[in-house]
A and B are shown apart, each in its own frame.
Chain A
């Protein structure tokens, strides 16, 4: 489902792939800096417009470190997506990053977070009242 390998910056990675009908997923791999998160924000919002998606997932499994600046950018992306009428989920937060965020005082508040991309995808399907079923059934 999510096999894109995104080059480490530079150049900044800007691909947003469609993980399923109406759900763009945004895998982030490599160190996030402010420039890159800005690009992420813009491409994700652009893809939301193009695909008309109800739910977007930002997957940060491949991100080794998160600082306050980056966390704030992620929050801004989620808020901007909400303003456009799309719900945004963050998945793949590593244990260390979860600890760092709490220590830094970055509360993700009412943002839906999932441990894995699979979890986020399942939640997205559930919210869209879709299910993956056996073909034979």
Chain B
């Protein structure tokens, strides 16, 4: 079965979504990521969705859920690289992802995570 790779970089986890998400893939990612945060003792999670062209309310909610779950596990989540069309769609769906931090690209996302105190680990 397809899986979305989760890379470990120091005390950060890097998730790059390069295929269109379907519901099962999203659920698997949620499971895998929460497991990995615990086993890798990650301080931060960076989700790159620059390859994501389509979102629905489920995927939007999943992003918000992942962010909340990682916060419970003491890791900050930053979503980076959201396309304009995706951003407009999410806003139209009423999902403004208020608890989720965002950045324009991976570079700026890393900067943000480091400034949030990713050095404690």
Secondary structure of the A contact surface, majority rule: helix
B residues less than 8 Å from A81 (CB atoms): 87
The answer to whether residues A86 and B91 also contact, given A42-B84, A49-B84 and a CB cut-off of 8 A, is no
Contact with A along B83-111 (1 / 0, CB 8 A): 11011101110001100001111001100
**Contact yes or no, B91 A48, CB < 8 A:** no
Q: Which of A45, A52, A86 contacts B88 (CB 8 A)?
A: A45
Q: Mark B19-47, 1 if CB is under 8 A from A, else 0.
A: 00000000000000000000000000000
Task: Evaluate contact between A85 and B84: CB separation under 8 angstroms.
Answer: no
B108–A85 touching, CB < 8 Å = yes
Do A83 and B96 touch (CB < 8 A)? yes
Q: Evaluate whether A83 and B104 lie within 8 angstroms (CB atoms) in the complex, with A42-B84, A46-B84, A49-B83 already known.
A: no
Question: Which B-chain residue is minimally distant from A82 (CB atoms)?
Answer: B102
- Are B82 and A83 in touch, CB under 8 angstroms? yes
Residue total for A at the interface (Cβ-Cβ under 8 A): 18
Q: Is the CB of B91 within 8 A of A85?
A: no
On whether A41 and B88 interact (CB within 8 A), knowing A49-B83, A85-B108, the answer reads yes
B105 & A83 in contact (Cβ 8 Å cutoff): no
- How many residues on B have C-beta within 8 angstroms of the other chain's C-beta atoms? 19
Chain B residues, CB < 8 A from A52: 104-105, 108
With A42-B84, A42-B88 known as contacts, the answer to whether A85 contacts B104 (CB < 8 A) is yes
In the bound assembly, the distance between CA atoms of A49 and B86 in angstroms comes to 13
The complex places the Cα of A49 from the Cα of B102 at a distance, in Å, of: 14
Contact between chains at A84 and B90 (CB < 8 Å): no
Closest to A83 in B: B87
Q: Whole-angstrom distance from the CB of A105 to the nearest CB of chain B?
A: 18
| Whole-angstrom CA separation of A34 from B61 in the bound complex | 27
Whether A79 and B108, one on each chain, are in contact in the complex, defined by CB atoms closer than 8 angstroms, is no
Q: 1/0 contact trace for A30-63 toward B, CB 8 Å? A: 0000000000011001101100111000000000
Residues of B within 8 A of A46 (CB): 84
Beyond A80-B91, A83-B82, A85-B79, 14 additional pairs, beta carbon < 8 A: A42-B88, A45-B84, A46-B84, A48-B84, A48-B104, A52-B104, A53-B104, A76-B88, A76-B91, A83-B96, A84-B102, A84-B104, A85-B80, A85-B108
A-to-B contact residues, CB < 8 Å: 41-42, 45-46, 48-49, 52-54, 76, 79-86
